[in-house]
């Protein structure tokens, strides 16, 4: 990976987090490029090559990371299609709702384009992301490893064998950070209502969330077992858990994630039909 030239089309938050992660893993700034409408902004943060012309940026690149908004993807892909060499580089798409088949059609029509579709999430900004990857049949073993190494620079990676699973990933981990932020928001507000100072409630909420996640990550046991261990019979935790379960919190989350999954599928249909 360290010898590959990696070009980012789009320089938003996710691209910035990947660039930062790659630099920390030892990838040379000389091998990283970004094409963006405001290239100087990124250049002030990272000592990398910046461009305002996509076609110039992708010349001789081994990997092209498409990091533009989903509604811009068709236009961007079509604009660079004519400049691709006979043997196209690996494309990595981190745009939500863009299917591999649509991207291949925009980039190459009947040509075989190696594409890896990725669903990252925002904790990648602090190198603690969770990314699900799915490869087209044209991705070589070497390119497969290259894509994984790039995303590992910002956190955990998992591979999907069926692209249809990507909408479920979007609902679970793609949107997932917001669910936890909402829970932390609720806990903090309730702590204040119970009489705690605002900053005390905030710090206790954040550290409790961090500690629980750390325990789960470092344990070989599932979440249900860990929950049972801290839920003493007749204790305070049991009373709180019973109250949540009486309100059927499981059904509430079922509906929430199903709604997110349905929206992810409709977005893919909508953006795919733009071409």
191 is an annotated ligand-binding site residue? no
40 is an annotated ligand-binding site residue? no
For residue 7, the 8-state DSSP code is E
19 is an annotated ligand-binding site residue? no
Owner of token pair 């605002």: 198
68 is an annotated ligand-binding site residue? yes
CA distance 83 to 215: 49
2 is an annotated ligand-binding site residue? no
264 is an annotated ligand-binding site residue? no
Per the DSSP assignment, residues forming a β-bridge with 92 are 65, 116
Owner of token pair 């956190």: 155
Please state the separation of Cα 264 from the chain's center in Å. Answer: 14
Beta strands at 129-135 and 115-119: parallel, antiparallel or unpaired: antiparallel
13 is an annotated ligand-binding site residue? yes
DSSP class per residue in 143-193: HHHHHHHHHHTTEEEEE-S-GGGHHHHIIIIISHHHHHHHHHHHHHHHHHH
- Show the tokens assigned to 45: 């943060």
11 is an annotated ligand-binding site residue? yes
User: Residue 53 in 3-state DSSP?
Assistant: coil
CA distance 151 to 254: 29
Q: Is the dihedral of CA 141, 144, 146, 152 positive or negative?
A: negative
67 is an annotated ligand-binding site residue? yes
Please state the separation of Cα 260 from the chain's center in Å. Answer: 15
CA distance 57 to 54: 5
Numbered residues of the known binding site for NADPH: 54
Numbered residues of the known binding site for NADP(+): 9-14, 67-70
Numbered residues of the known binding site: 9-14, 54, 67-70
């Amino acid at each position: 990976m360290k010898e590959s030239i990696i070009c980012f089309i789009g320089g938003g938050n996710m691209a910035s987090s990947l660039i930062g992660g790659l630099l920390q893993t030892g990838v040379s700034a000389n091998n990283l490029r970004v094409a963006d409408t405001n290239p100087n902004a990124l250049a002030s943060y990272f000592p990398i090559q910046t461009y305002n012309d996509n076609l110039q940026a992708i010349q001789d690149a081994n990997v092209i990371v498409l990091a533009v908004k989903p509604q811009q993807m068709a236009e961007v892909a079509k604009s660079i299609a004519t400049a691709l060499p006979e043997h196209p580089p690996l494309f990595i798409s981190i745009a939500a709702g863009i299917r591999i088949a649509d991207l291949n059609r925009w980039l190459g029509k009947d040509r075989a384009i190696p594409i890896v579709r990725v669903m990252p999430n925002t904790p990648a900004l602090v190198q603690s992301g969770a990314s699900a990857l799915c490869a087209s049949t044209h991705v070589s073993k070497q390119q497969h490893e290259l894509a994984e190494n790039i995303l590992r620079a910002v956190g955990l990676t998992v591979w999907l064998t069926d692209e249809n699973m990507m909408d479920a990933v979007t609902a679970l981990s793609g949107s997932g950070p917001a669910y936890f932020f909402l829970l932390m928001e609720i806990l903090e507000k309730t702590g204040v209502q119970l009489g705690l100072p605002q900053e005390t409630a905030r710090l206790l909420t954040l550290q409790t969330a961090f500690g629980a996640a750390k325990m789960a990550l470092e344990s070989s046991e599932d979440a249900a077992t860990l929950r049972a261990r801290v839920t003493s019979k007749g204790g305070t935790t049991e009373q709180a858990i019973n109250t949540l379960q009486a309100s059927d919190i499981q059904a509430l989350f079922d509906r929430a994630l199903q709604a997110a999954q349905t929206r992810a599928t409709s977005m893919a249909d909508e953006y795919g039909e733009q071409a």
